[in-house]
Amino acid sequence: MDEDCEVTQLQEQSCWATLPDVCLRRVFWWLGDRDRSRAALVCRKWNQIMYSADLWRYRTITFSGRPSRVHASEFESALWYIKKFGRYLEHLEIKFLNPYNAVLTKKFQVTMRGLLSCLGKSNNRLRSLSIQHLELDRLVWRNSIRGSLIKSLSFFLKKMGKHLDHLSLKGARLTVEQGCHILNSLSYMQNENMASELNIEDFFSHHLAVYGSSQFNKAMATFRNLTFLTLNYNCISDELLETLSENNAGTLRTMNIKCHVHDPHGQVVWGMSWAKLARQASNLKVNFFFERVMKYERLARILLQEIPVRSISLRSCYFSDPDWSMRPTLTDLLPTFRNTLQKLTFEFNNNHESLDEQLHLLILACRKLFYFKIWAFLDVKFVERILKSQEEGQCSLHTLKVRTLSCLHGVEQVYLSRLGTFALTSTGKWDRDRYETGTAPESVHGRWTQSQTPGSLCCSVSSGFYIHESSQPYVFTEDV
């Protein structure tokens, strides 16, 4: 018996010993840092493979902004990691979550100084850098700490900017001077930068009219190879669009533009500037994300008909105004983009007006619309009408997500299932013995409507919680 066990162990060891390096690297790729450290102690071969560049190309380093014994060593461990494996990094993401006080921001600044210094000395592979949500305009960042961090980052970008293909500084919240100083660091000693992806959403502090800054337009003129550009609407100007059409017309594919109610967005941008950019960058698609900018007058100044709009997201964040109406936007403004619009996301409070008919007509008008998500006050039959239109080929929807409450003698709710995908019999009744994917809502009575086009539409309907996603849509209408 003991001999058999020894033979089995020898066979197992021989299998691992003869496993090709590429297979071992694939196995180790799924391990965390702690398990990788243990595996490196098994034998010399495993230790050597543990230093393969393939295992350390991607890294996300998260620093907690709250004082905690659990997270006390994460600053030291991050620095140790960069010193040990930083030379292999190609994609680095750094997060600093809601700093609590100046002590933690100082600790983060010192760690970043050492981290960036070590990375600049040992690494020439880095292609993607993301440092998000620093929120440097908060009071926990003292002027000296903020200045030292910006200085370290600028020095690093001067040295490594020529290698970077993707840079995200989302949520940095800098002044115009500070932000332009960092952007200019990317083109240090070259007067141009070849990065293809740039994310400067919330890069500048709120309330800053960046569109009037010549510094910003000059800094953006150094980018000559942009494919994806993400920024706020308070950065958009005729000068910026002119710069993009001159320097990035052959490469620019996507612009993501965020418009927040607290950002200045009253500037005049001429349609001819957008038309020139769209004409020269023929593959350009523009995605708009509006937060609490809901009034028709404001939206009409921004959403000009010359813009090749692909996606629009309108979120009210509980905005409520009895004098506000969504109807002109749905009937007069959005149909302007019927030939280009592919995705629509709505979240608004329309308890003072019914919009079922206007929404339905908008979906039918936009022939390229394949994604529609809405959270609003709607009638249950609205979903049935959309599904029927899709079955008859009147619209091109592939994904429909609805979260709705209807007021009719109380609250009328729509159910499909509480969690996961639930199966139904051909009669529309729940078969508890045959299907074991979940439990049906026993207290609800009504009828199921099944789509006749399997796999053509993904439907999600809820009344405050996740309900259903399936390749074959079902809608349950509660009897009231």
Whole-number pLDDT of residue 230: 98
How far apart are alpha carbons 146 and 151 in whole angstroms?
A: 9
Whole-number pLDDT of residue 195: 94
How far apart are alpha carbons 420 and 463 in whole angstroms?
A: 15
Whole-number pLDDT of residue 19: 80
How far apart are alpha carbons 322 and 343 in whole angstroms?
A: 28
Whole-number pLDDT of residue 38: 84
Report pTM. 0.81
Whole-number pLDDT of residue 341: 97
Residue 380 in tokens: 């249950």
Q: What would you report as the CA-atom Rg of the chain, rounded to the nearest whole angstrom?
A: 27
> Mean pLDDT of successive 10-residue segments in the chain (480 residues)?
55 67 84 81 84 88 76 80 90 91 93 94 92 94 96 95 94 97 91 93 95 96 96 97 96 97 93 97 97 94 97 85 88 96 94 92 95 90 89 91 62 32 30 34 37 38 35 39
Whole-number pLDDT of residue 11: 53
How far apart are alpha carbons 436 and 423 in whole angstroms?
A: 9
Whole-number pLDDT of residue 3: 56
Give Cα 97 distance to the centre of its chain.
17
Give me the amino acid identity at 132: Q
Whole-number pLDDT of residue 98: 86
